[in-house]
Structure 1
Amino acid sequence: MSVLIIKLGATGDVVRTTPLLRRLNGSVTWVTAAKNCALLDGLADNLRHFPWETRARALDVPYDLAINLEDTLDVAHFLKSVRPAEIFGAYADSSNRLRYTDNSKHWFDLSLISSYGRQEADRLKLLNRQTYQELIFEGLGLRFAGDPYLFPNSIETRLSGDIAIAADAGHVWPMKKWAYYGELKEALEEAGLRVNILPERRSLLEHLADVRNHRCLIGGDSLPMHFALGTRTPCVTLFTCTSPWEIYDYGMQEKIVSPLLEEFFYKRGYDERATTAISVDQVFDAVTAQLESAAPPAARQEVTV
């Protein structure tokens, strides 16, 4: 069986799609954003990958199945040139409108291209209690059984400590940025812990190492969170405006859900109340509990290839 996966970004979504690789038989081709290629290098003997800019290189073989997890017309147009025997996910119909296959509806019903419209999609997303992996696996006729993320070897860095804080939220979801990271850092350092704010890195593989080199990660629903889950690094994750239920915790995550989550659910604007609804004390206590049960970085069993 020959399979094409199209998942360009965000990088965290690419990471949480990698568990599929161990469950797909035959050869797999993955088209992704160029920056994500480093995270796919050598993940499986049957995998090859191409950046979106050179996607035409993926047209050299016929595909039995194309898994399109993007919701844009440009990707759907590319899929038409692929002509797979079967599609899972989004495609363009004869009127050039985005549709999605029936077997992918449990995921795409919650998406920006939901057949129910954006408002109802967000309501369904709020009610959903299945993880991303469960929704995708089940649509493909598979059963998700806690299959781990796959990572290549990281590029070692000298940054290490007890706590890593992932304070950045990006411009798309400004309300993910909790207001009290500074105060929390001071409180943790007063308790004798070594705390680092994660820096920007030239390579995602350096960023991966930074997370792995700590006993616990604190942050929002973000790429560092996925790096923590995949490296079996205990983490405390603050959910202020996105779904905590879509994230499979792999037994490593303490989720702190904002009491105002429903009010700001999947809102992309900014309201200070969303960033201040979770207290410093609540996060401090959760971090302390995670540290008490954390194995040192060198003792963790992560899946690398």
Structure 2
Amino acid sequence: MKRVLIIKLGALGDVVRSTIFISEFEKDYEIHWLTSQKSKDVLSSQKIKRLYFYENDNDKSQLKNTEFDLVLCLEEDLQLLEYVSKIKSQKTIGHFLNNGKVDYTQECNYWLDMSFVSKIHDKETADKIKLQNKKSVNQIWMEMISGKDGWKSQEYDIGTTPKNINGVIGFIDISESKWPNKFWTGYPDLKQKLEADGYQVISLGMKQTVKEHIEDINNCELVVCGDTSGMHIALALGKKVVAIFNCTPPNEIYDYGRMKKIISPLLEKYFLKRTNDLEAQSKVSINEVYGVIKKLIN
């Protein structure tokens, strides 16, 4: 059987999202995965033949002595790409090292031409294209490896069995250091309204381990969040999700028919800004989020 090496270390949400490749590759490839220790709990699928950890020198040494039919590299870190350049493969899709600089294969043009590593656009132009883009990253990635007909709503596969829970609503009510404007200020008042209706509301802040965070999310019927790693985990677990988008592109997230997106009217003003702005974090109304929850959960 052919071998594929998927390279995705972080961020955690993107690692979860990249598990859509598992169902695409499992029939024809033995799936190997280079990742980081912090991501191992979302890569528990039995369909993955072997995990390698970038922090582990023995794993990296073994990878250099293994030949792959395909390497799918979803990381743009220069030091990592220097290492990846030493892995033997028949074909690479994704990022690679070209004369000491980060480059990407032509299959990735749609995705990466609107990114900060774009070869043809400055950041301002790339951000404008990203704002106008209508495709989810899931669709872009599947078309990247399988052509225009490759997207078939492939599901996440994090190797955890979803629980059937009723009446418990989880809030991922934490701020992310890199993206403060993903936070929403309405959680405390929303919690009061929902508890008055008889729902149990729990906070889903990060725990000591990702495994514990997954378990907390799995114990919910519905999750309210921003564009976070927990949002992807909730989707992977088949949960109903209400996601608030204050500063990141909502169209890049595929809803799988179980997520409702609430898009801030100030999205364009704060698009991809990593500042800390109360206006951005508070514009979405509590009543709007409450109304969407009631429609989803009843």
Instruction: Give the alignment's TM-score, normalised by structure 2.
Output: 0.92
Q: Tell me which residue corresponds to 1:168.
A: 174
Distance 1:202 1:160, change over 3 A: farther
Q: Tell me which residue corresponds to 2:158.
A: 151
**Cα deviation 1:244-263 (Å, max 9, x = unaligned):** 11111111101000001011
Q: Tell me which residue corresponds to 2:66.
A: 61
Q: Tell me which residue corresponds to 1:107.
A: 111
Q: Which structure 2 segments of 5+ residues have no match?
A: none
Query: In structure 1, what is the Cα distance between the partners aligned to 2:50 and 2:137?
Result: 23
Q: Tell me which residue corresponds to 1:36.
A: 39
Q: Tell me which residue corresponds to 2:85.
A: 80
Distance 1:280 1:190, change over 3 A: same
Distance 1:161 1:204, change over 3 A: farther
Query: In structure 1, what is the Cα distance between the partners aligned to 2:72 and 2:13?
Result: 17
The residue correspondences of 1:133-152 to structure 2 (distance < 5 A) are: 133-142=138-147, 143-152=150-159
Distance 1:199 1:270, change over 3 A: closer
Query: In structure 1, what is the Cα distance between the partners aligned to 2:162 and 2:200?
Result: 22
CA-CA distance at 1:205 after TM superposition: 2.2
CA-CA distance at 1:169 after TM superposition: 2.9
Conserved in 2, the CA contact under 8 Å of 1:160 and 1:210? Answer: no
Percent identity of paired positions between Structure 1 and Structure 2: 31
Within the candidate set 187, 197, 200, 2:193 is matched to: 187
Within the candidate set 95, 98, 101, 1:97 is matched to: 101
Is 2:121 the counterpart of 1:119?
Answer: no
CA-CA distance at 1:78 after TM superposition: 1.2
**Cα deviation 1:31-79 (Å, max 9, x = unaligned):** 11111112213430x5211111123332231112111111110121112
Is 2:243 the counterpart of 1:237?
Answer: yes
Q: Tell me which residue corresponds to 1:298.
A: none
Query: In structure 2, what is the Cα distance between the partners aligned to 1:26 and 1:199?
Result: 37
CA-CA distance at 1:213 after TM superposition: 1.3
**Cα deviation 1:214-248 (Å, max 9, x = unaligned):** 11100101111111111111110000000111111
Conserved in 2, the CA contact under 8 Å of 1:3 and 1:63? Answer: yes
Instruction: Give the alignment's TM-score, normalised by structure 1.
Output: 0.90
CA-CA distance at 1:155 after TM superposition: 11
Query: In structure 1, what is the Cα distance between the partners aligned to 2:75 and 2:206?
Result: 26
SS of 2:67 mapped into structure 1 = coil
Distance 1:161 1:205, change over 3 A: farther
Conserved in 2, the CA contact under 8 Å of 1:19 and 1:147? Answer: yes
Query: In structure 2, what is the Cα distance between the partners aligned to 1:43 and 1:129?
Result: 33
Amino acid at match of 1:35: K
Distance 1:290 1:163, change over 3 A: same
Runs of 4 or more consecutive aligned structure 1 residues displaced over 4 Å after TM superposition: none
Conserved in 2, the CA contact under 8 Å of 1:5 and 1:68? Answer: yes
Amino acid at match of 1:49: L
Query: In structure 2, what is the Cα distance between the partners aligned to 1:99 and 1:199?
Result: 36
Aligned-residue RMSD, C-alpha: 1.8
Amino acid at match of 2:38: K
- Alignment: residue pair count: 288
SS of 1:38 mapped into structure 2 = helix
Q: Tell me which residue corresponds to 2:50.
A: 48
Q: Tell me which residue corresponds to 1:6.
A: 7
Conserved in 1, the CA contact under 8 Å of 2:248 and 2:267? Answer: yes
Query: In structure 2, what is the Cα distance between the partners aligned to 1:212 and 1:176?
Result: 22
Distance 1:124 1:155, change over 3 A: closer
Distance 1:42 1:227, change over 3 A: closer
Is 2:277 the counterpart of 1:274?
Answer: no
Query: In structure 2, what is the Cα distance between the partners aligned to 1:239 and 1:256?
Result: 6
